[in-house]
Amino acid sequence: MDLIPSFSVDHRAIVPGIFTSRVDTVENGTVTTYDVRLMRPNIEPVVDVAAMHSLEHIIATYLRNDPDWKDEVIYWGPMGCLTGFYLILKGNRPSREIYDLLLRAFRSVETCQSVPGATAKNCGYYRMHNLDMAKWYAARFADHLAANADKPETFEYPKTERLVTEDGQHFYDS
Ligand SMILES: [Zn+2]
């Protein structure tokens, strides 16, 4: 049975943080999709698209090489709205339990010498990277997480009723 959340996120109230977006049961257990939100939607500018692309490469590489977590990672990728990323992990941990992992991952960007896989052979648009700006966004997010780790709004979504479209479809953004 799929566990489909009946709420959707109130994007007017969301602040940067780590949230459980959805939990799904699969053949051998549970997978959880986390919303790793870097920017306040519709209030702050979105992440620069080249920096977003670099963060995608750097953090995917970090997560998939971390000895304690690599076997748990299913997916890491950017949101279409460019305000954050989705992380899909095996299991059903509260988002607080991946705080340390994500803080380390975003802090690791600071010491990156180059973007992994930024070549024509390994990437769909290898010219579209910006390591310096990726470092700026990563430091900003890591500082925010560290300063707000004791606040519930860093880990809990502001919720609202799920939107139903005029022709009766339930709206999802992922
Ligand atoms: Zn790429």
Centroid of ligand 1 to alpha carbon of 6 (angstroms): 34
Per the DSSP assignment, residues forming a β-bridge with 84 are: 37
Centroid of ligand 1 to alpha carbon of 121 (angstroms): 10
In this prediction, residue 107 carries a pLDDT of: 98
Mean pLDDT, rounded, for 103-132: 98
Mean pLDDT, rounded, for 14-34: 95
Give the Cβ contact number of residue 140 at 10 Å.
Answer: 15
Q: Which of 56-65, 147-156, 159-168 has the lowest mean pLDDT?
A: 159-168
Q: What is the DSSP letter of 162?
A: P
Q: At what angle do helices 131-147 and 99-108 cross, to 10 degrees?
A: 150
Centroid of ligand 1 to alpha carbon of 110 (angstroms): 19
Q: What is the DSSP letter of 39?
A: S
Nearest to 38 by CA among 62, 73, 21, 14: 14
Q: Go through the domains of the chain in sequence order and give each one's CATH number.
A: 7-154 (3.30.1360.80)
In this prediction, residue 5 carries a pLDDT of: 56
Read off the pTM.
0.92
